[in-house]
Amino acid sequence: MIKQKKHLKNRTDHQSLKKEDSFWLEITRFPWLWLIIFGVLFIVYGQTLAFFLGKFDEEVIITGNMNLLRDFGRMKEVLFRDAFLSNIGSDFYRPLQNLSFMVDAHLSGTEGWGYYLMNILIHGTTCCILFYLLILFSDNRRNALLLVLFFAVAPIFVQAIAWVPSRGDLLIGMFGTFSFLSLIKYLRTNDYRHLAAHILSFLFAMFSKETAILFPVVFCFYYFLMEKTKKVSIMGMIIPVLCYILIILIFLYLRNLVINVPATGKVFGVLPLIGNLRVLPEFIAKFILPVSLAPMPGFTFLNTSMGIFLAGLLVLAVVKNKSTTLLMTFFGVGWFLLFSLPGIMYRHDFGNNAYDYLEHRAYLPLMGILMVCFFQMNRTENTKAGKYYLPIFVLMIAGYAIYNYNYAKNYQNPLTFYCLAIKANPHSALAYNNLGVIRYNSKDYHNAIHEFSTAISIKPDYAQAYLNRGNCREIINEKKGAMEDFRKAILYKPVLFQPHYNLANILYDMGSKEEALKEYNMTLTLYPTYTYAFIMRARLRYQFKDYPAAFEDLNHILKLNPNDTQAYILRGKTNLMLNNREDAYKDWKSALVNGSREAAHLLQQYSVQKSK
């Protein structure tokens, strides 16, 4: 009788288990999985569609290049610019990121919603791909969904979604994981359609961010050490390996054409790597317990020690369950370390006077930690602790979603962004300077001066902060202070042309015209096509009665800008002094076409003199 009751109980438990599995199977089918993930994301991140552009580097990359981005006829030019969309060719080459910005610009122009919508869509797609990837490792749909939802709302990724320049990390996350997913399916089916998807998505990942060059290491490790049911022989891997090599070589060739200013050893290399090792525990800490999140963070003792502690707990769990999960855990940890490597090898030129790291760089690496958690959850779900996974994760996902929603508000506009950056990292001279620029653009000059002065107190050789403070002082008529700031900017960064030009203008207004001429000369040495400096130098040369030199400057201006009214007027006056009366008349007629009243007056005078 007792045996019969036990048998009935076991059968009831089995039926209940099958019913639970059936539930998770149903809600993770298409389209329910996608609806759940995107529904959660739009609840959490939908507010970003009302956010403004202009935060750190957004004005440099997006709003400052709007004419370029909104012209599909210039697509080739966009593809052959660096990651800052400049012709300088510095540091990074990410053509697919640039191309995606063209799509955004056509959607919303200078409004932020198109850019942030694209980020949400990419993030959501990546989360769905991650789910499919996890269930290829082990068909535990409940654990996979819980972890992917946790990843979707993790507050550390707010920067990846609510800040446009993080696009490269989102793209490499999406294409890289899909390439890996397609590889596993190819290995298990020997279906060349999966091989084609694998190679194509690796190509897209490679042109999204340079870190993708490491994916072949992951692919080969998985093939040789992890995949147990592969139907593809080592000969079948020749085609993908050759494709990896070809894609990487093409990328490096094109990158070499675009990048003319490679990073120095101070910015990228072994020394920054050593100084940035604390990034690893801080990524782990902020992923699991999001404390001290910041747009431009510095290292903190709390996050570093907490990350080491959490990593230690993970090691203990692995050691305890090493019989079945050691290799898979090693793979996840390897993924985390490998894809963290490029980011921690890079350090801003200002060091910790800018930031120690950026949180969006954790997007791809932390997928490895997600894998480790998945392997450990599967191994322990039938233990006493495993019975609490579902309620624990439901509470964490709900709590983190609420925290995420509130924290993301700090990315609403440039002012809230930099206020948080300074609050979280008061050693960031870069953040103070950029906040000063925001106040300057709002014509809040006195508070802008305060921000620039704080930046200078943190970094006394900060040339751009001196230049910016000098601009403010010039506007509020503190000419002496402005001149001192411009001279400091020149001292600390001689290659800047703006302080020379601004200093020359003040000297000109003060009547020190010979000194002003020297500064205009230096401005044009540094920036040979700066028309404002040419027109001012031409004006000075005209006043010094050096008419041939003035005439030469004005010709140069009109070559650069054939519609420059002031240049036509002054060249007309110069021609008159050189007794080229007909040429003077032609110049003033050209200025008159552009609606110049001064040109009309000069032509009237010319006609009166000619009639006499």
Q: Which pLDDT value is given to residue 21?
A: 79
Answer for the pair 168, 159: CB distance below 8 angstroms, yes or no.
no
What is the number of alpha carbons within 13 Å of residue 213 lying toward its C-beta?
13
Tally of domains within the chain:
4
**Is residue 422 assigned to a domain?**
no
One domain, residues 20 and 36: no
Q: Which pLDDT value is given to residue 295?
A: 97
Q: From residue 610, how far is each of 139, 488, 574, 576, 605 by CA, in Å?
A: 95, 53, 18, 13, 9
List, in order, residues 6 or more apart from 256 with CB less than 8 Å away. none
**Is residue 416 assigned to a domain?**
no
One domain, residues 278 and 168: yes
One domain, residues 183 and 99: yes
Rounded to an integer, what distance in angstroms lies between the CA atom of residue 64 and that of residue 41? Answer: 29
Query: Where is pLDDT greater, at 608 or 398?
Result: 398
> For residue range 266-278, what is the model confidence (pLDDT) as tens digits?
889 999 999 999 9
Q: Which pLDDT value is given to residue 611?
A: 56
Q: Is the pLDDT of residue 373 over 50?
A: yes
One domain, residues 358 and 443: no
Q: Which helix (H) or strand (E) holds 406?
A: helix 389-407
Q: Which pLDDT value is given to residue 605?
A: 82
Q: Which CATH number fits the domain that encloses residue 464?
A: 1.25.40.10
Overall average pLDDT of the 211-230 stretch = 93
> For residue range 172-187, what is the model confidence (pLDDT) as tens digits?
999 999 999 999 999 9
Rounded to an integer, what distance in angstroms lies between the CA atom of residue 93 and that of residue 256? Answer: 9
Residue 457, both tokens: 């107190």
Work out the pLDDT band at 18, boundaries 50, 70, 90: low
Q: Which pLDDT value is given to residue 19?
A: 66
Q: Which pLDDT value is given to residue 89?
A: 82
Query: Where is pLDDT greater, at 335 or 313?
Result: 335
Rounded to an integer, what distance in angstroms lies between the CA atom of residue 519 and that of residue 503? Answer: 7
DSSP string, 455-516: HHHH-TT-HHHHHHHHHHHHHTT-HHHHHHHHHHHHHH-TT-SHHHHHHHHHHHHTT-HHHH
Work out the pLDDT band at 324, boundaries 50, 70, 90: low
Q: Is the pLDDT of residue 417 over 50?
A: yes
Max Cα distance, the chain (Å): 134
One domain, residues 521 and 539: no
List, in order, residues 6 or more apart from 99 with CB less than 8 Å away. 75, 78, 79
DSSP secondary structure code for residue 1 in this structure: -
One domain, residues 276 and 317: yes
**Is residue 417 assigned to a domain?**
no
One domain, residues 344 and 256: yes
Residues 13-51 as b or e (16 or more Cβ within 10 Å = b): eeeeeeeeeeeeeeebeeeebbebbbebbeebbebbbeb
- Average pLDDT of the chain, as a whole number: 93
One-letter identity of residue 530 = Y
Answer for the pair 297, 424: CB distance below 8 angstroms, yes or no.
yes
Q: Which pLDDT value is given to residue 8?
A: 42
Helix, strand, coil in percent for the chain, rounding step 5: 75, 0, 20
> For residue range 552-580, what is the model confidence (pLDDT) as tens digits?
999 999 999 999 999 999 999 999 899 99
List, in order, residues 6 or more apart from 498 with CB less than 8 Å away. 467, 489
Q: From residue 77, how far is each of 268, 540, 604 by CA, in Å?
A: 27, 38, 47
One-letter identity of residue 461 = D
Q: Which pLDDT value is given to residue 608?
A: 63
Rounded to an integer, what distance in angstroms lies between the CA atom of residue 387 and that of residue 380? Answer: 9
One domain, residues 327 and 249: yes
Q: Is the pLDDT of residue 323 over 70?
A: no
Rounded to an integer, what distance in angstroms lies between the CA atom of residue 437 and that of residue 444? Answer: 10
